[in-house]
Amino acid sequence: MVAGDRFSDENGVRINRLGITDPQQLAQAETDSSLLRLQRLNVQGGIPGGRYDHAHLKQVHQKLFEGVYQWAGETRADREFQGHKPTYVTGFKETMTYAPFKEIEPRLNAIGEQLGKENYLKGLSEEKFAERAAYYLDQYNHTHAFRDGNGRTLQATFVQLGKEAGYQVDFARIDPATLNRARDLAMVRPHAPQEVEKNLQALKAMFDQVISPAPGIEAEKLRDPSQARPLAALSPEMKAMDARRELVVTGYRVMDIVANMPGAGNYEKGVAVGKGVEVTNLNPAAIQVHLAQFQQAADRISKHPALQGSDASQDRNDAKRFRAAAEQVQAIAEVKEAAAKVPILAKTHDEAQFVFKHAANQVAQDLREHGKGLDAARLQEVARHVARTPFIGGLNRENVGKSIAAADKIPALKGSRHLEELKSAVGIMEKAPKEYERSTAKVEAYGRDVKSIER
């Protein structure tokens, strides 16, 4: 237990509703309460209408643990807890690093969306269901949304997923140690991405043991091949997540290899690699700073005289994987950076209203930083109006024009993405929406902007 992690008290005991201060007593109370709730949730069929995303898993966790914890349903992001965990599943000490807590919500949503593209695994044979369930359980486990209770939350989630695909999923058929070992092996990824099925082999074997076709005509319909969807290509979000996982898994191994290589300064170089990996995991844009360092570390391993024998082949493979992952993260970061520079140009009043809100906030902040506080205030006043009404006229049009003109005179802002987005949104909203043009009563609701409406 960790003290002071905002989920725990000063002695490392989880903050709980029952006032328990002894960790063993709390563990027993948690088990007694959550297992009863897990059984009840499984009988009920899970979360009605759940989409296996951020909202879905939060509801599952809350239902399982709200009898003991007031923070049930909160993710690690809610109390800013990162965390990692050691494992010896490969015979060596490995570090299991979970997704950055700031990314829990978008990652769960990306996984749920990808699962939806596969029609939530409906229409699959028993073997194929086990294979794809293994893939998704690993993705959810790596995201590791909660401070505690991830295992039971995922069990409930996959019982529901199985039921909705025509299968019974009964985790009681296996020893918990079997599940834990399978999850850890998938987490540390001993095999390269080209052999991903080997990393998931133990998880698939676990699912082979716990699933069986559910009885009944309705379950048969859910398993009918007509329900299946072709295996969808991974979304850009999923590809980026996997690239960072590969970087972290191999990066910490490279850190240990370099730090323990013969030669002066190698220990310090290894530690520096580890710090760079940690920073890049939390902020992938940092790859721009650390790429050369990562490439040099991989080369150092590949060329070091002491690591040329067959007994060091795994070290050389990890170095090769690490370099490839770093370069992939770099490529993804470049694409993302380029996309971030492309303005979002609104086409409708609804789109313009949304774009204006975000662009105005950024341009106002930039104006302030360049000593244009009055123009920033004018722009934010218009933004408050736009939040209520997707139209800009009269004094509002005059004020937003002054703010844009002021920004255009600042070299650092002229032509910037947010300024171009602002101009695009204004161009749409300086004309009244058609539904308001047809109704004098609605037009009058615009107050001081009425006189400027084009007819």
Band (337; pLDDT cuts 50, 70, 90): confident
- Kindly state the percentage of the chain with pLDDT values over 70: 93
Q: How high is the pLDDT of residue 147?
A: 95
The residue type at 276: G
Structure tokens at 161: 């997923």
Q: Specify whether the backbone of 121 is left (phi greater than 0), alpha (psi in -120 to 50) or beta.
A: left
**Does residue 301 register a pLDDT over 70?**
yes
Band (435; pLDDT cuts 50, 70, 90): low
Using DSSP bridges, classify how beta strands 94-97 and 211-213 pair: parallel, antiparallel or unpaired: unpaired
Measured between alpha carbons, how far is 375 from 5 in angstroms, rounded to an integer? 43
**Does residue 208 register a pLDDT over 50?**
yes
Measured between alpha carbons, how far is 24 from 21 in angstroms, rounded to an integer? 9
Mean pLDDT, to the nearest integer, of 34-58?
Answer: 96
**Does residue 448 register a pLDDT over 60?**
no
Contact 53, 60 (CB under 8 A): no
Neighbouring CB atoms inside 10 A of 377's CB total 15
**Does residue 242 register a pLDDT over 50?**
yes
**227 or 357, which is more confident:** 227
Mean pLDDT, to the nearest integer, of 338-352?
Answer: 76
**Does residue 437 register a pLDDT over 50?**
no
Q: How high is the pLDDT of residue 239?
A: 94
**Does residue 74 register a pLDDT over 90?**
yes
Q: Specify whether the backbone of 227 is left (phi greater than 0), alpha (psi in -120 to 50) or beta.
A: alpha
Mean pLDDT, to the nearest integer, of 324-351?
Answer: 83
Structure tokens at 346: 């609104």
Mean pLDDT, to the nearest integer, of 265-280?
Answer: 94
Structure tokens at 188: 């540390």
**Does residue 446 register a pLDDT over 70?**
no
Q: How high is the pLDDT of residue 73?
A: 96
Q: How high is the pLDDT of residue 192?
A: 93
Measured between alpha carbons, how far is 353 from 351 in angstroms, rounded to an integer? 5
Q: How high is the pLDDT of residue 432?
A: 84
Structure tokens at 359: 């662009």
**Does residue 261 register a pLDDT over 80?**
yes
What is the 3-state secondary structure of the chain? CCCCCCCECCCCCECCCCCCCCHHHHHHHHHHHHHHHHHHHHHHCCCCCCCCCHHHHHHHHHHHHCCCCCCCCCCHHHHCCCCEEEECCCCCCEEEECCCHHHHHHHHHHHHHHHHHCHHHCCCCHHHHHHHHHHHHHHHHHHCCCCCCHHHHHHHHHHHHHHHCCEEECHHHCCHHHHHHHHHHHHHCCCCHHHHHHHCHHHHHHHHHHEEECCCHHHHHHHCHHHCCCCCCCCHHHHHHHHHHHHHHHHHHHHHHHHCCCCCCHHHHHHHHHHHHHHHHHCHHHHHHHHHHHHHHHHHHHHCHHHCCHHHHHHHHHHHHHHHHHHHHHHHHHHHHHHHCCCCCCCCHHHHHHHHHHHHHHHHHHHHHCCCHHHHHHHHHHHHHHHHCCCCCHHHHHHHHHHHHHHHCCCCCCCCHHHHHHHHHHHHHCCCCHHHHCCHHHHHCCHHHHHHCCC
**Does residue 369 register a pLDDT over 80?**
yes
Q: How high is the pLDDT of residue 66?
A: 96
Contact 104, 143 (CB under 8 A): yes
Using DSSP bridges, classify how beta strands 167-169 and 84-87 pair: parallel, antiparallel or unpaired: unpaired
**Does residue 69 register a pLDDT over 90?**
yes
**Does residue 447 register a pLDDT over 90?**
no
What is the rounded (10 degree) CA torsion for 70, 75, 80, 81?
Answer: 90
**Does residue 438 register a pLDDT over 80?**
no
Torsional sign, CA 298, 143, 54, 178: positive
Band (441; pLDDT cuts 50, 70, 90): very low
**Does residue 338 register a pLDDT over 80?**
no
CA atoms within 13 A on the CB side of 7: 22
226-235, 334-343, 399-408: range with highest mean pLDDT: 399-408
Band (39; pLDDT cuts 50, 70, 90): very high
Mean pLDDT, to the nearest integer, of 282-304?
Answer: 93
Structure tokens at 156: 């409930």
Domain 29-232: state its class.
Answer: mainly alpha
**211 or 340, which is more confident:** 211
**Does residue 219 register a pLDDT over 90?**
yes
Measured between alpha carbons, how far is 18 from 38 in angstroms, rounded to an integer? 19
- The chain-wide mean pLDDT, for the chain, equals 90
Q: How high is the pLDDT of residue 97?
A: 92
Domain boundaries, the chain: 29-232, 241-339, 349-452
pLDDT tens for each residue of 145-161? 999 999 999 999 999 99
Measured between alpha carbons, how far is 212 from 171 in angstroms, rounded to an integer? 11
Q: Specify the pTM.
A: 0.76
